[in-house]
Amino acid sequence: MMESASHEKVGLLASWWVRLTAMPNMIACKVSEIAKNTKKLGQDDPRRVFHSLKVGFALTLVSLFYYYQPLYDNFGVSAMWAVMTVVVVFEFSVGATLGKGLNRALATLLAGALGIGAHHLASLSGQIGEPIVIGFFVFLQAATSTFIRFFPQIKARYDYGLLIFILTFSLISVSGLRDDEILELAHKRLATIFIGGSACVIISIVVCPVWAGEDLHNLIAANIENLGSFLEGFGDEYFKMLEDAESKDDKAFLQAYKSALNSKSSEESLANFARWEPGHGRFHFCHPWKQYLKVATLTRQCAYRIEALHSRLTAENKVSPEILNIIQESCTKLSLETGKALKELAAAFKEMTKSPSPETHMAKAKAAAKSLRSLLKSGLWEDTELLEVMPAATVGSLLLDAVNCSEKIIESVNELAFLANFKTVEATVSLEKSQSGKLDTKEKNPNTDVVVTIAEAPSVLPENAKKVGSQRVEV
Amino acid sequence: MMESASHEKVGLLASWWVRLTAMPNMIACKVSEIAKNTKKLGQDDPRRVFHSLKVGFALTLVSLFYYYQPLYDNFGVSAMWAVMTVVVVFEFSVGATLGKGLNRALATLLAGALGIGAHHLASLSGQIGEPIVIGFFVFLQAATSTFIRFFPQIKARYDYGLLIFILTFSLISVSGLRDDEILELAHKRLATIFIGGSACVIISIVVCPVWAGEDLHNLIAANIENLGSFLEGFGDEYFKMLEDAESKDDKAFLQAYKSALNSKSSEESLANFARWEPGHGRFHFCHPWKQYLKVATLTRQCAYRIEALHSRLTAENKVSPEILNIIQESCTKLSLETGKALKELAAAFKEMTKSPSPETHMAKAKAAAKSLRSLLKSGLWEDTELLEVMPAATVGSLLLDAVNCSEKIIESVNELAFLANFKTVEATVSLEKSQSGKLDTKEKNPNTDVVVTIAEAPSVLPENAKKVGSQRVEV
């Protein structure tokens, strides 16, 4: 018994010793990992670094209130509220900062007025009644406001305002019991909040502004582009034409669409922020942000179809080569043209222009769909087992679904282009072609061409956009 | 010109008058709508009403600090921080409240200590150097902390703590320039924050607690159940067997699965809150919340497949009745049994028990899949066009996909059951049957039975669970 206990002790000590000696290595490892992550975080979006510096700057600026004697004499301890406002209100995007600032200012104003009123009413009810009345008011407004915060529409835009409303009302009506200079207090608090809030808003607009509206615009463009990249490459990938040229790294375009699956909440919050933003650059004050959410919803629905297509890539593939050969051309063409249409749509959308080329590509995609349908109708299949054809048929059917979804996306983007007055470019040449229904047949091996494009610049839209532009001239 | 202008004026006046007379009606309409929405909001989740009352109660309680002379003499204006803490920290769930409270308390403690240190260091550098050093410190910590808030892991759990850290450090180090009683201030602030925070935590745990962990548990169970309901009803719906008995209202079960598509962000935040919660009821402190997220991810992937299936319901259906008749039985059986498996899984999961019946149903589903495959292999198809078979083949293929996904869900739930020590119930009878491979054929018209269940209680899990239980006895 004793021996085993001492053995255990030795074992425990030894394991501790091992851990202790491994510690410096572990710490060094951890530190280098954190350093790497930090660098990546900054490189992924350098605006993060600027934002941090902006917050530091605004806070140091507002701290002057505390420091300079004349300013301090004016505001006293209330200057604290300016610091607090900067810390709480300064958000990453202009829209979020403006929304919080306005919420805070208006809620403070309203709650201050009501708080003073409540305090006045309570003071009428005598020494004993006063705290009871005040307590009742505080309870009533806190419970009501908290319940109002559950309304989804209010939560989306005015949640912070209601929080500040509860806070200010409670503080003012309660502190009224102690402080007869309640009006002066309210005035000072409002003034300092105004100073802090405007410091935030001005700095966030003037120094490297981050516009939520622009982020939303780019996010949706990127999502549509990712769907396009997937479809553009899917045909080749599924029919394994690229087996010799492919490598694992180039397949990022097959995963990129996944970001569209779960972007709903960020899109909605960006749209909410964007509605607070003043007109900037190519975005007006009443930009149709709601239409953006419609486009986003359709994009997500298309992404669900593509998720089903993606699962086909990993499914066990028992289709015989002969069957694949029959449908390969039309399926690849269908997928490629739909992908091109979405990518051109994304490029034009990103530049806020109306382009007819997505429709040109959609026309080609529809022609491919037609030839796929007639292939499936033909008698080529009589000798084959249905089970063997099924995977290919499923892919064809899902692709046809994806074409439908893509058409809906294009429609909703066109509607958005109309609502937001996108500019029209290079309409004449391509439109004529698409309307005459003649499809281009001169393209030399379009598949390889596209693959090269993807391998060169899988996710850099401007470069693709340039290529799309040059292609358009060729067409 | 003049005439048209006066016409315009009259028209404008008239339209204003119309609007003005319509106003009372509009207001009455709006008010009744708001009242309806409010009632619905409260009825959907009565815990919202309780939460509002709890916040009001906590706030009134803490206001006593301001009111009672002896307490006020102790804390003075610092008592304000207690009110502020209650307003800001009191969240809907216990986990969120605890997380915010701990974040606030620890951040205040840490930032207070560092702030005092910074103030001391600055005071060593003389009258002129002091504000510069302080300003430098404030800038440095604000910029650094703001950047740290961008790390996703830190944002998820410690975002609020970092905000309070910036706030407290700035306030203490800056106010140090004015106030020599800085230690007393820090002590008072900590004490009042502690009082406010513990009031929140105690009230949120003692009075009708809302556990984020339980919400997460129920959310995932409901999502799995909704997938099950869809699959259970899909077969009949697709093959239009129910045309005579159906009505629009009963089809809620075909839409319910959509909630699983976009629940990722709420699941993640619930899991984050749940990790702050102490053990309660059937949940221990170290409950495997991460495994919940894995189950949720698989559920969502299954929901994507089901979205593709759902689109088949609305797609143009040009399949000839003969073709449908051939595959109908096995497809319906496949879908029904997978649906039953998921619903039983959800019921057992909700009750935190291990049940073998999902596996029994999965065995039946697999048998149906096998018969579907052999049907597709058979020579029944030789006279038909592939285009006609394609929709049916796609549905079959997607159903087979859904079976695979469901199996993965069952596996991950079993893993969770192992990690969280779920209890085993009624293992013997059903297990034997599933292992012997004999499939039950005595069921009297299972389809109608299930449809009645759905029509009666489309989303109330406990009732379904009871029914599932009684069915199990029959089997």
- Provide the shortest C-alpha distance from residue B11 to chain A (in Å): 27
Six-digit token string for A440: 């281009």
Residue B279 contacts residue B95 (beta carbons within 8 Å): no
Least confident stretch, A109-113, B21-25, B244-248: B244-248
> Of B64, B313, B386, which to mutate for an interface test with A (greatest number of A Cβ within 10 Å)?
B386
Is the confidence at residue A383, as pLDDT, over 70?
no
Report the chain B residue with the minimal C-alpha distance to residue A37.
B151
User: A336: closest CA among A430, A218, A449?
Assistant: A449
Give the chain B residue nearest A48 (alpha carbons): B147
Judge contact between B94 and B277, C-beta under 8 A. Answer: yes
More confident residue, B67 or A358: A358
For residue A200, list chain B residues with Cβ-Cβ distance below 8 A. Answer: none
Q: What is the rounded end-to-end Cα distance, in angstroms, of chain B?
A: 87
Flag if B56 and A391 touch (Cβ within 8 Å): no
CA distances to A85, A97, A152, A290 from A273, in Å: 18, 8, 15, 12
Question: Where are any strands of DSSP class E within B391-466?
Answer: 423-424
Of residues A462 and B53, the one with the higher pLDDT is B53
Query: pLDDT tens across B134-189, in order?
Result: 889 999 999 999 999 999 989 989 999 999 999 989 888 877 655 566 777 778 88
CA separation for the pair B390, B164 (Å, rounded)? 60
Give the CA distances from residue B361 to residues A250, B285, B366, B399, in Å, rounded to whole numbers and listed in that order.
42, 33, 9, 15
DSSP state of B240: T
Mutation pick from B39, B48, B60 vs chain A, by most beta carbons of A within 10 Å, is B60
For residue A142, the chain B residues in CB contact (below 8 A) are 52, 55-56, 59-60, 87
Chain A residues close to B377, C-beta within 8 Å = 385-387
φ/ψ of residue B207, rounded to 5:
-95, 115
- CA distance linking residue B304 with residue B42, whole number of Å: 32
Interacting residues of A308 by C-beta distance below 8 A, sequence separation 6+: A398, B304, B305, B307, B308, B398, B401
Residue with tokens 């065995």, as numbered in its chain: B363
Pick the closest to residue B396 from B415, B408, B418, B381 (CA basis): B381
Mean pLDDT on A403-411: 91
CB B94 within 8 A of CB B212: yes
Which amino acid, A343?
Answer: K
String of DSSP letters for A151-166: SHHHHHHHHHHHHHHH
Contacts of A88 in chain B (CB under 8 A): 163, 167
Closest chain A residue to B172 measured between Cα atoms? A80
Task: Name every chain A residue with its beta carbon within 8 A of the beta carbon of B399.
Answer: none
Is pLDDT of A16 > 90?
A: no
Between chains, do B171 and A80 touch, taking CB under 8 Å as contact?
yes
Chain A contact set for B49 (CB, 8 A): 147
* Dist CA A256 CA A259 (whole Å): 6
Q: Indicate whether B31 pLDDT > 60.
A: yes
A460 phi, psi to nearest 5 deg:
-90, 105
Confidence of residue B5 (pLDDT cuts 50, 70, 90): low
**C-alpha span between A435 and A67 (Å, rounded):** 71
Neighbours of B29 (CB within 10 A): 11
A257 pLDDT more than 50: yes
ipTM of this complex prediction, to 2 decimal places:
0.79
Closest approach of chain A CAs to the CA of B284, in angstroms?
28
- Spatial separation of the C-alpha atoms in residues A475 and A357, rounded to whole Å: 10
* Closest Cα in chain A to B179: A77
Output the average pLDDT for chain B: 79
pLDDT at A384: 67
Rounded CA separation A235/A258 (Å): 18
Of residues A132 and A469, the one with the higher pLDDT is A132
Q: Do A177 and B66 touch (CB under 8 A)?
A: yes
Query: Cβ neighbours of residue A120 under 8 Å, at least 6 residues apart?
Result: none
Residues on chain A touching B131 (C-beta within 8 angstroms):
67
Distance from CA of B172 to the nearest CA of A (A): 10
The residue with greater pLDDT, B77 or B394, is B394
Nearest chain B residue to A262, by CA: B262
Kindly give, in sequence order, each residue whose CB lies less than 8 Å from that of residue A40, ignoring residues fewer than 6 positions away.
none
Report CB contact under 8 Å: A67, B166: no
Q: What is d(CA A390, CA A317) in angstroms, rounded to the nearest whole number? A: 10
Q: Which of A118-127, A329-338, A376-385, A439-448 has the highest mean pLDDT?
A: A329-338
Residue A424's DSSP bridge partners are A354
Average pLDDT over residues B288-295: 92
**A40 CA to chain B: closest CA distance, Å?**
10
CA angle at A45 for the pair A42 and A46, rounded to the nearest 5°:
60
How many CB atoms are closer than 10 A to CB B23? 10
Q: Which of A178, A179, A193 minimizes the C-alpha distance to A110?
A: A193
Angle between helices A152-175 and B79-89 (to 10 degrees): 170
Residue owning tokens 């990712």: A226
Which residue among A177, A308, A396 places its CB closest to the CB of B67? A177
H helix runs in B45-181, sequence order = 47-67, 69-75, 79-89, 94-123, 126-148, 152-175
Q: Which residue of B has its CA nearest to A47?
A: B147
Q: What is the pLDDT of residue A176?
A: 60
Higher pLDDT, B28 or B172: B28
Token match 């091996």: residue? Answer: A445
State the smallest CA–CA distance between residue B353 and chain A in angstroms.
Answer: 31
Nearest residue of B to residue A151, measured between CA atoms: B41
Q: Closest approach of chain A CAs to the CA of B418, in angstroms?
A: 29
Give the 3-state secondary structure of residue B353.
Answer: strand
3-state secondary structure B454-466: HHHCCCCHHHHHH
Tokens of B32: 């009744």
Backbone φ, ψ for residue A288 (5° rounding):
-75, 75
CA distance A164 to A182: 18
Q: How many CB pairs under 8 A join A and B?
A: 208
Q: Of residues A242 and B383, which shows the higher confidence score?
A: B383
Taking only the tens place, the pLDDT of each residue in A178-218 is 556 677 777 888 888 898 999 999 999 999 999 999 999 99
Query: Whose CA is closest to A228, among A109, A79, A344?
Result: A344
Going by pLDDT thresholds of 50, 70 and 90, the confidence category of residue A4 is: low
Which member of B41, B56, B140 has the closest CB to residue A151? Answer: B41
Q: Show contacts of A280-284: CB within 8 Å, 24+ apart.
A: A280/A94, A280/A209, A280/A211, A280/A213, A280/A214, A281/A211, A281/A214, A282/A352, A283/A211, A283/A213, A283/A214, A283/A217, A284/A420
From chain A, the residues in CB contact with B406 under 8 A are: none
pLDDT digits (tens, 9 = 90+) for A309-357: 888 777 665 666 777 777 788 888 889 999 999 999 999 999 888 888 8
At CA A321, angle to CA A316 and CA A324, rounded to 5? Answer: 80
Average pLDDT, chain A: 79
3-state secondary structure A70-97: HHHHHHHHHHHHHHHHHHHHCCCCHHHH
Return contacts of A274-277, CB within 8 angstroms, 24+ apart.
A274/A95, A274/A211, A274/A212, A274/A213, A274/A216, A275/A95, A275/A157, A276/A94, A276/A95, A276/A96, A276/A98, A276/A99, A276/A102, A277/A93, A277/A94, A277/A95, A277/A98, A277/A211, A277/A212, A277/A213
The alpha carbon of residue B405 is apart from the nearest alpha carbon of chain A, in Å, by 11
- How confident is the model over B299-332, as pLDDT tens digits? 998 998 888 888 877 766 566 677 777 778 888 8
pLDDT per residue as tens digits for the range A283-315: 888 889 999 999 999 999 899 888 888 887 776
- Which pLDDT does position B120 carry in this prediction? 82
Instruction: Give the per-residue pLDDT at B57.
Output: 93
Measured between beta carbons, the chain B residues lying within 8 angstroms of A48 are 147, 150
- Rounded to a whole number, what is the distance in Å from the CA of B237 to chain A's nearest CA? 20
CB contact under 8 A, A146 and B56: yes
For B138, the closest chain A residue by CA position comes to: A60
Contacts with A396 from chain B: Cβ below 8 Å: 390
Q: What is the pLDDT of residue A105?
A: 92
Pick the closest to residue B375 from A327, B319, B367 (CA basis).
B367
B60:A138 CB<8 A = yes
Q: In A, which residues are within 8 Å of B178 by CB distance? A: 66, 72
B457 has pLDDT over 50: no
pLDDT at A409 exceeding the cut of 60 = yes
Rounded to 5°, the CA angle B349-B355-B356 comes to: 140
Q: Taking a C-beta distance cutoff of 8 angstroms, is the pair B90, B200 a contact?
A: yes
Q: Report the C-alpha gap between A314 and A398 in whole angstroms.
A: 15
How far apart, in Å, do the first and last CA atoms of chain A sit?
88
Q: Is the pLDDT of residue A23 over 50?
A: yes
> Which residue is closest to A139 within chain B, CA to CA?
B56
Contacts of A87 in chain B (CB under 8 A): 142, 163, 166-167, 170
| pLDDT tens readout for residues B328-361 | 888 888 899 999 999 999 999 988 888 888 888 9
pLDDT of residue A357: 84
Look at residue B48 in the predicted model and tell me its pLDDT.
93
Better-predicted residue by pLDDT, A457 or B423 = B423
Query: Which residue of B55, B146, B304 is in closest CB contact with A308?
Result: B304
B396·A390 Cβ contact <8 A: yes
